[in-house]
Structure 1
Amino acid sequence: MNNAAVLELLAEISEIDSAQSTDDVLKIFRTSIGNYGLRSFLISGLPIPHDSEWHRAILYDGWPREWFMRYKSQGHFPHDPCAAHSRLTAKPFLWHQLPADRMTVRGRLVMDEAAEFGMKDGLCAPVHVPLAGPAVVTAASDRIEIPPGALPLIETLCVHTFHKLSGFRAEREEIKTPLTSRERELLQWSAQGKSTDDISSILGVTTNTVESHHRNIRDKLDAINVAHAIVKALRRHEIQI
């Protein structure tokens, strides 16, 4: 990778850091990864594999629409080898580097079907955020052109993009409707490890009422589950531990 390309990539990273909107970030990111043949990308948190609401963790979906619908309708998320490996490593990797002998039948199916939608190879840049769990920035195409030495810089670009978009989402969430005092109380008990039955007994309400409050809390915080809601409420200083 020549010096001019390195300087250009560093300049793009700096532009992302100073961008003032989600659209500006995505425009810079899309142009930058396009220089390496990468045309489709997804920026997302990685909930537990069998979380049916996994798609709520997506920060930006730049996959081909038909592929996303296929991926979702076929229940590919729990079997996606890229997602699985990204949970276990902090290092960026290329799709073709995934060990074929460790891939399940369903995992191979995910990769084979991705190729049918023009995503024959790609890269994953795992992002591990304290209190929020793993995430990934993944990009792909039918033919990628990543020169030797470029992957660490592309990883830096991906990580900066993820954090910038996460920051914009957090800012939007801060102006949303705050939790009620009852919702904060209930979530505080959840944060202390109390079950739905425990909270029902403590507050003198039915379990259905507790579950209803949890649904309202998830909706307000745009959380995929109670644990995710606890993390978001902590960040908004709505509860304490």
Structure 2
Amino acid sequence: MTKGKMTDEIAPLIVRIAEAPGVEMVWSLATDYFRSMGFSRVNYGYTRFLHGSGIGNPADAMFLTTASPDYATRYFAGGLYARTPAFKWAHANTGACTWKWVREAMEAGTLTPDELAALRQNATMGVRAGITISFPEASARAKGAMGLIADPDLTEADVERLFVSRGTALQAVAQVMHLKLVQMPFSARKRALTTRQREVLEWVAGGKTAQDVATVMAISLAMVEKHLKLAREALDADTTAQAVAKATLLNLIFQPQPLADAAAV
């Protein structure tokens, strides 16, 4: 496929992703495309709290997958992702690559015991070939990456050919999806911010004191303090300043009203 035809094919999809109003639609549009390319199972992760080789508190990270609930539990909650060679590559690199190098490293005996164990565990779930995309980030504390797991009927050679012929299109859709997702409010916590908690944090972020907020919102100072306390608890923050910072990084405040409503309870 020529570059011109490829652009014509994915341009409408990219526009739809860019205009999508929520996380679910962005994810659905992108993964439908990946599925049509032979990648029904897609894993995506993003954190704004990267520290060393860790992603920070998992509750503050975004994890999305089209895989089965059992696989998602083992891969994300069980920490399997952090032991895979692909994750370590994504942590240290930016760009895209197939998993051919993983097989070559295994055959060369250069993988660690943990990495080999992760590969064996993945193999039991039909994960053998695929593509990793590691996204460039503007912040040293942020990192996003995605794994496209090849369908069972695709061989490693099939994925290599697909990567050569359609790799640019796959990456273009993935990049736009990622850029859209990181703009959106996301709360993986059991307790999301309420509308009032969000509003109080926004006033504090704007430089208002608790007494100022009470006056502006026409509520008591005690109620302002209560909202701030509950917001700190919801965000697992020790101070109000930390709560404001986390809410800002997680796009939970200063959002257009439809997105803000979707993020509130």
Same fold by TM-score, threshold 0.5 exceeded? Answer: yes
Q: In structure 2, what is the equivalent of residue 76 of structure 1?
A: 80
Q: Which moved more, 1:170-179 or 1:97-106?
A: 170-179
Whether contact under 8 Å (1:221, 1:229) holds in the other structure is no
Q: Secondary structure at the match of 1:137?
A: strand
Sort the Cα spacing of 1:21 and 1:108 in 2 relative to 1 into closer, same or farther, 3 A. same
Aligned to 2:35: 34
Instruction: Give the conservation status (yes or no) of the 8 Å contact 1:64–1:117.
Output: no
What does the per-residue CA deviation read over 1:41-86, in whole Å, with 9 as the maximum and x for residues that have no partner?
1221254445574364124222222222223565424322212111
Q: Deviations over 1:117-137 (max 9, x none)?
A: 122211111113223421112
Instruction: Pick closer, same or farther for the CA change 1:216–1:170 going to 2, 3 Å.
Output: closer
**Is 1:151 paired with 2:167?**
yes
Letter matched to residue 197 of structure 2:
T
* Secondary structure in 1 matching 2:95: coil
Map 1:6-45; keep pairs closer than 5 Å. 6-45=7-46
**1:25-174 correspondence to structure 2 within 5 Å:** 25-45=26-46, 47-48=50-51, 49-50=53-54, 53-54=57-58, 56-72=60-76, 74-98=78-102, 100=105, 101-131=109-139, 132-141=141-150, 142=152, 143=154, 145=159, 146-169=162-185
Q: 1:169 to 1:150 in 2, by over 3 A?
A: same
Q: So what's the TM-score if we normalise by structure 1? A: 0.67
Further displaced range: 27-36 or 97-106 = 97-106
Length-normalised TM-score, structure 2: 0.62
Q: Is the 8 A contact 1:79 1:110 kept in 2?
A: yes
CA distance in 1, matches of 2:183, 2:96: 22
Unaligned runs of 5+ in 2: 206-227, 255-265
CA RMSD after TM alignment: 3.8
Give the whole-Å Cα distance in 2 for the aligned partners of 1:214 and 1:140: 43
Separation (CA, whole Å) in 1 of partners of 2:116 and 2:164: 27
2:196 and 2:179 map into 1 onto residues whose CA distance is 20
Q: What 5-or-longer segments of structure 1 have no aligned partner?
A: 186-212
% identical equivalent positions: 10
Task: Evaluate the alpha carbon distance shift between residue 221 and residue 159 of structure 1 in structure 2; reply closer, same or farther with a 3 A threshold.
Answer: farther
- Compare CA radii of gyration and give the structure with the larger one: 2
Aligned length: 205
Asked whether the equivalents of residues 80 and 107 of structure 1 are also in contact (C-alpha less than 8 Å), the reply is yes
User: What displacement does 1:34 show?
Assistant: 1.4
Residues 176 and 133 of structure 1, relative CA distance in 2, 3 Å threshold:
farther
Deviates more, 1:96-105 or 1:131-140: 96-105
Q: Is the 8 A contact 1:9 1:32 kept in 2?
A: no
Q: Residue 39 of structure 1 aligns to which amino acid in structure 2?
A: S
